Chain A
Amino acid sequence: MSRKKEKKIFFLDMGMFFINNGMTNYWFFVVKRDPALCDPAATVKRAASQLLSYSFRCPGRLHLFQLCYFEQPQLRRGGKMTINSDLQRLFTEKAQAVSAHVQVVADRQAAFDYALELCERRRRDKGDAQDDRVTIAAPALVKEDLELLKSLCKSRKIQVLREGLRDNMRGVDLGCTYADFGIAETGTLVINSTDEDLRLATMISDIHLALLPLSRIRQDASSLTADLQNVMTDPANFTAFITGPSRTADIERVLAIGVHGPLELHILLLEDGQC
Chain B
Amino acid sequence: MLKTTDMKSYKKGVQESLENDFLRKAMDTFAVAYRSGRKKTFCDFDFAELAGDIATLKDKAGANLMSLYEDFKAQAERKGIKVHLAKTAAEANAIIAEIGKENQVKKVIKSKSMTAEETHLNTHLEEKGFEVTETDLGEWIIQLRHEGPSHMVMPAIHLSRNQVADLFSDVTGTKQETEIERLVKVARTELRQKFIEADMGISGANFAIAESATIGLVTNEGNARLVTTVPPVHVALIGLEKLVPTLSDALKIVKILPRNATGQAITSYVTWITGANPCLFAEGKKKIMHIVFLDNGRLAMSEDPDFSQVLRCVRCGACANVCPVYRMVGGHTLGHIYIGAIGLILTYFFHGRDKAKNLVQNCINCGACKSVCAAGIDLPRLIKSIHARIQDNDGHPLQSILLGKVLKNRSLFHKLLRTARVAQKPVTGGSTYLRHLPMVLFKEHNFRRLPAIAAKPFRDIWDEIKPEVKDPVCRIALFSGCVQDFVYPEQLQAAVKVLAKKSIAVEFPMDQGCCGLPAEMMGENTAGKEVAMQNVEAFDSNIDYIVSLCASCASHIRHAYPRILSDTGKAAQATAIAGKTMSFSQFLKDVAGVTSEDFTGSNTPATYHAPCHLCRGMGVREQPHSLINDAGLSFLPAAEEETCCGFGGTYSGKFPAVSSEILNKKLDDAVATGAKLLLTECPGCVLQLRGGALMQGRDLVVRHLAEVLAERLK
Contacts and interface: CB of A to CB of B under 8 A. Distances in A.
Interface of A: 94, 98, 166, 169-171, 185-188, 194-197, 199-200, 203-204, 221-222, 225, 228-229, 231-254, 256, 258-262
A235 B79 contact: yes
Interface string B152-184: 001111011100100000000000000011011
B196 interface: yes
B164 to A, nearest CB: 5
Interface in B195-252: 195-196, 209, 211-212, 214, 220-223, 225-226, 229-230, 246-248, 251-252
A238 B271 contact: yes
Contacts, number: 188
A253 B269 contact: no
B278 interface: yes
Interface residues of B, number: 70
B63 to A, nearest CB: 23
A188 B188 CA distance: 24
Given A247-B268, A248-B184, A250-B154, A238 B220 contact: no
Given A236-B274, A236-B277, A169 B192 contact: yes
Summarize B's interface: helix, strand, loop or mixed: mixed
A203 B222 contact: yes
B42 interface: no
16 contacts: A228-B247, A228-B272, A229-B211, A235-B79, A236-B286, A237-B275, A238-B273, A240-B225, A240-B270, A241-B269, A242-B268, A246-B221, A250-B141, A250-B221, A251-B184, A252-B159
B327 to A, nearest CB: 14
Contacts of B612: none
A235 B275 CA distance: 6
Nearest to B139: A250
Contact of B212 (A171, A185, A233, A261): A233
Interface string B7-35: 00000000000000000001001100100
B643 interface: no
B580 to A, nearest CB: 42
A254 B187 CA distance: 15
Contacts of B136: 250
Contact of A259 (B223, B246, B251, B271): B223
A245 B155 CA distance: 21
Given A196-B280, A251-B164, A242 B269 contact: yes
A43 to B, nearest CB: 24
B251 A250 contact: no
Contacts of A258: 184-185, 188
A234 B159 CA distance: 44
A259 B220 CA distance: 9
B262 interface: yes
A77 B272 CA distance: 37
A238 B281 CA distance: 17
A251 B221 CA distance: 13
Given A235-B275, A243-B267, A259 B221 contact: yes
B21 to A, nearest CB: 14
Most buried by B among A94, A200, A232, A242: A232
B265 interface: yes
A169 B195 contact: yes
Contacts of B276: 235-236
Given A225-B247, A243-B269, A251-B184, A260 B221 contact: yes
B275 A188 contact: no
B180 A261 contact: no
Given A232-B274, A243-B268, A252-B26, A260 B156 contact: no
Given A248-B137, A253-B29, A240 B271 contact: yes
Contacts of B264: 98
A166 B266 CA distance: 29
Nearest to B160: A252
Contacts of B255: 221
A94 B41 CA distance: 12
B225 A203 contact: yes
A223 to B, nearest CB: 10
A256 B161 CA distance: 13
B80 interface: yes
B68 to A, nearest CB: 16
Nearest to B111: A260
A261 B221 contact: yes
Contacts of B80: 235-236
B138 interface: yes
Nearest to B181: A256
Contacts of A249: 154, 220, 262
Contacts of A94: 265
A175 B427 CA distance: 77
Interface in B89-119: none
Most buried by A among B30, B160, B184: B184
Given A260-B135, A260-B222, 4 more contacts: A169-B192, A233-B212, A253-B33, A260-B226
A258 B184 CA distance: 8
Nearest to B33: A253
Most buried by A among B220, B246, B286: B220
B275 A240 contact: no
B301 interface: no
Contact of A256 (B79, B184, B271): B184
Interface in B589-635: none
Contact of B271 (A241, A244, A248, A260): A241
Contacts of A262: 222
A198 to B, nearest CB: 10
Given A169-B195, A253-B26, A260-B188, A188 B223 contact: no
B268 A98 contact: yes
Contacts of A246: 220-222, 268-269
Contacts of A238: 229, 271-274, 277
Given A221-B255, A251-B161, A186 B266 contact: yes
B137 A251 contact: yes
A246 to B, nearest CB: 4
B180 A260 contact: no
A243 to B, nearest CB: 5
A233 B268 CA distance: 25
Most buried by A among B161, B180, B223, B281: B180
